[in-house]
Amino acid sequence: MLHGNKNKQLSRKQGPRNALIKTLAVSFIRHGKISTTNVKAKVLQSFVEKLITKGIENTLHARRVIASRVGQATADKIIKEIAPKYKTRHGGYTRVIKLNTRLSDGSKMAQIELV
């Protein structure tokens, strides 16, 4: 039973799911926007917004937490480039735009981008 489990499973076990979210987050932060399925975009949205909120603090602890989630190079980009732009904003750093369905399997696609 999945009582009290609010995480989306994405048809994967915990390890592959965490790896998927990490790689999606790294490419999203590197490029500024990516196209993926709607469910993955929604999961990625909450993950990345928490990282950006942590990056606004700009402390050593925040740096280490972000680096443990997505790696040092991506953490530097969050803290030096992305977080300062959202210093006065209280959440809502990303936007999910729904796209057409994918032709191969009919899954609903979405594009996630920084606001």
Please give the tally of structural domains in the chain.
1
Note whether residue 43 is domain-resident: yes
The predicted pLDDT at position 5 comes to 81
> Is residue 23 in some structural domain?
yes
**What confidence tier does 51 reach under pLDDT thresholds 50, 70, 90?**
very high
Identify the CATH number of the domain in which residue 76 sits: 3.90.1030.10
Distance from the first to the final alpha carbon of the chain: 37
How much is the pLDDT for 59? 96
CA atoms within 13 A on the CB side of 106: 0
What pLDDT, on a 0 to 100 scale, did the predictor assign at position 109?
98
| Contact status, residue 55 vs residue 78, Cβ threshold 8 Å | yes
Residue 109 lies in a domain: yes
Determine how many CB atoms are found less than 10 A away from the CB of residue 73. 11
Domain-located, residue 7:
no
- 6 pLDDT exceeds 90? no
Strand partners for 34: 112
Model pLDDT, residue 35: 97
8 inside domain: no
Q: Is residue 109 within 8 Å of residue 36, measured between CB atoms?
A: yes
Asked, for residue 5, whether it belongs to a domain, the answer is no
Q: For the residues 3-10, what does the mean pLDDT come to?
A: 86
Does any domain span residue 55? yes
Mean pLDDT to the nearest integer, 94-109? 96
Domain that holds residue 72: 14-114
DSSP strands (E only) in the chain:
33-37, 94-101, 108-114
Q: Which pLDDT score is estimated for 95?
A: 97
Q: How far apart (Å, rounded) are the C-alpha atoms in residues 35 and 93?
A: 17
- Whole-number pLDDT of residue 4: 82
pLDDT surpasses 90 at 20: yes
Q: Can you tell me the mean pLDDT for 80-108? A: 96
Domain-embedded: residue 95: yes
